[in-house]
Structure 1
């Protein structure tokens, strides 16, 4: 930990992941650049180049936190600047309780609107508090006087409240990377008041889209004396009328216990330059030629996501089966590549979904396949991003149909990869990205008719319409890329002119 105020940081980022990959080479640990294709980690680190000193707070597994066997603080000097990384030693039991059980099994279903999947019983709230307090203490120790502390995601919900108590001088920003549900769903959580009070200790709270901002305010006002200070008209870039998540106005400032809290809707984007570079590389061109040779004259429909009940994988395969049943003329002429990778094999709910997907895939292929045509390719192992970009280029249709999704970066990756200007995006109304991507073909995954007709429409779309829609999608994805998101969130901490539609309580 810093020994004096001179060594403290002007910017502290609090994020559960370490900002690099640890690789052991000849018995020595090397810290290598994280090649995450969505660009969030590199983009966050880029802000360290703007300050004299920065710090990153993350966790690292340790069997014995009192003697973790690694340096708790390491100094990093990379192209992004000089910064320290504080690694909090957490036992596997702590990580399992705080992250896999509380965050994933209890909070995740509520955040995505699946009350029936919520399980209160295994949650150890005291451990969740303990871990969040450890993150807050580390941030407080690293932050210089008046520093900015940027906290990320719902597994660190309590950090802002603890940090405000420890360091009332710092500026706190929090970004919520998942949806935020309506009050009647969020309030199922027994700890709702404690969570909301912690978030209201921030100077800025960020969400992907205006709907999540307004849901947060509704939940806060259901339990606390929160006054709306400012409401603004939603920008056209965040108000696609084809989305079930669109909003006409958004609350941008509230007051609570004498504190003004700014609320910012900033959709996370992708690293367009990185993806386009891969898409136009010689290696991708060679892989693309091979994919097209294997496809022959068949059209490729591509779906990519995690094995999760929120992703709508079962509903999608059911729709594909209905299409093959009702359209015999398409048999042998199309192929669905459904990539569904389990993020956590230890979670029972995900194992059951995986088994159901495999059962359905077997049924579809057995019922409609032939010696020379397999209608469905189910991929359950991770696909290298370089390979995925080649499939993005090859796919006639990207079929992205989650039942609920905070943003969904796959659909943006697909658009960024289509440097040829072709391709069709069929997108669920319930993905946060749908409020931006107005020229995608919208579909409602809760409706058989909507799912089936959207895919049929995409299969019959003429080239001129395909290219016209994709042109607008690519322009938007480039404009609101990952750097746009980060800048938009950080500028919210700066003073701004008054104004807006309302100043009512």
Structure 2
């Protein structure tokens, strides 16, 4: 909408001016996410002495989708004023390189192999190689792919603390009761695939009566801020679906789905990660998804299964997750069936691989790689 675009430009101008007023001579300015796409261009015009880095927390779309925007050239020209532009994974970086080269006369660096911790092929967001830099109007911009990480040592120290260990025991005695505990944690958002997940769980209960009473799904789905009708409609759909499934399948001593839309304190969330046999994260699209990484950090040294959407950035670094396509009923059904059937030994092998990735690609590793690109 043109009226919204003018507001977007004005807000970006204000952020740029504030950053320039704060920055010392030759300072580095790190800008985050598409909300500030135009800030680099404004900053470069005001302060040619500074270094600018930009990081996308959301996926950068394919060039044909990005090109729908009427202001596409202005956005790309602004990003090309940076010294480095960062993305979670090589696919997003390559999407940007293609968008830039299709819209503007840029020079592209020769394709380079991706780092070993990325999956080169075999899933929706895999990418075997990527463009390392772009050059526009004599200015070179590095493209850097580093997924945001967690603080795995902090998560495990929280997990091992007495209050959280007590919470884990409480979950095991009050919710699990010897059952398989499946956890899904996200927010109320039409991109998070919560209703698709619930319908998959309903089909599981329909075709496998033997697991009735033996499995419980906990859906922690934080409500969005009020005033956004699209999120209110999404939340109503989730609540109605949960109510219908529980109405169909509940027994006196068993309710198949526990739903909360309240924000859960982080220490309690770590307890749920540590107690859950399966973590089920299948958004329709997600830049990275830290919940998947937090689960693996909390389960290090144990078993457990992670069912993960191919359309999350995390899917190309979590080599051990059960990957699935949330747009396909068959693939979703197969994934949850596989997660429920994995042996303890295979669970531990997969979890060890994922925990090693989480340890390597920590939040410190992310910050170090992104900031070193502009040194």
Please give the TM-score of this superposition, normalised by the length of structure 2.
0.98
Q: Matched residues in 1 for 2:206 and 2:33: separation? A: 43
Post-superposition shift, 1:343? 2.6
> Could you tell which deviates more after superposition, 473-482 or 145-154?
145-154
Q: Matched residues in 1 for 2:8 and 2:309: separation? A: 33
The answer on whether the counterparts of 1:225 and 1:256 sit within 8 Å (CA) in structure 2 is: yes
Q: Equivalences for 1:41-56 in 2 at 5 Å?
A: none
Higher RCO (CA-CA < 8 Å; seq separation 6+): 2
| Residue from 299, 308, 324 that aligns with 1:443 | 324
Which residue is equivalent to 2:25? 145
Q: Matched residues in 2 for 1:469 and 1:129: separation? A: 46
The answer on whether the counterparts of 1:314 and 1:356 sit within 8 Å (CA) in structure 2 is: yes
Please tell me whether residue 171 in structure 1 is matched to residue 51 in structure 2: yes
| Residue from 363, 370, 375 that aligns with 2:251 | 370
Q: 1:210 to 1:456 in 2, by over 3 A?
A: same
Please tell me whether residue 479 in structure 1 is matched to residue 341 in structure 2: no
Post-superposition shift, 1:290? 0.8
Which residue is equivalent to 1:389? 270
Q: 1:388 to 1:240 in 2, by over 3 A?
A: farther
Please tell me whether residue 488 in structure 1 is matched to residue 369 in structure 2: yes
Which residue is equivalent to 1:455? 336
Post-superposition shift, 1:323? 0.3
- Tell me which protein shows more strand as a share of its residues: 1
Q: Equivalences for 1:224-303 in 2 at 5 Å?
A: 224-239=104-119, 241-294=121-174, 295-303=176-184
Q: Matched residues in 1 for 2:120 and 2:318: separation? A: 7
Find the structure with the greater CA-based Rg: 1
Q: Matched residues in 1 for 2:78 and 2:225: separation? A: 29
Q: Matched residues in 1 for 2:348 and 2:105: separation? A: 50
| Residue from 189, 197, 203 that aligns with 1:316 | 197
Which residue is equivalent to 1:91? none
Number of residue pairs matched by the alignment: 374
| Residue from 281, 290, 293 that aligns with 1:412 | 293
Which residue is equivalent to 2:71? 191
1:320-372 residue CA offsets vs partner (Å, 9 max, x unmatched): 00000000001110000011112322111111111111110010000000111
Which residue is equivalent to 2:231? 350
Which residue is equivalent to 1:24? none
RMSD of aligned Cα (Å): 1.1
Please give the TM-score of this superposition, normalised by the length of structure 1.
0.73
Post-superposition shift, 1:487? 0.2
Q: Matched residues in 1 for 2:226 and 2:130: separation? A: 39
SS, match of residue 240 in structure 2:
helix
Please tell me whether residue 206 in structure 1 is matched to residue 48 in structure 2: no
Post-superposition shift, 1:226? 1.1
Which residue is equivalent to 1:426? 307
1:215-274 residue CA offsets vs partner (Å, 9 max, x unmatched): 011111221111102321011201254431010001011111110010000100001111
Q: Matched residues in 1 for 2:223 and 2:48: separation? A: 41
Please tell me whether residue 135 in structure 1 is matched to residue 135 in structure 2: no
Post-superposition shift, 1:309? 1.1
Give ranges in structure 1 of 5+ residues lacking alignment.
1-119, 495-505
Structure 1 runs, 4 residues or longer, greater than 3 Å off: none
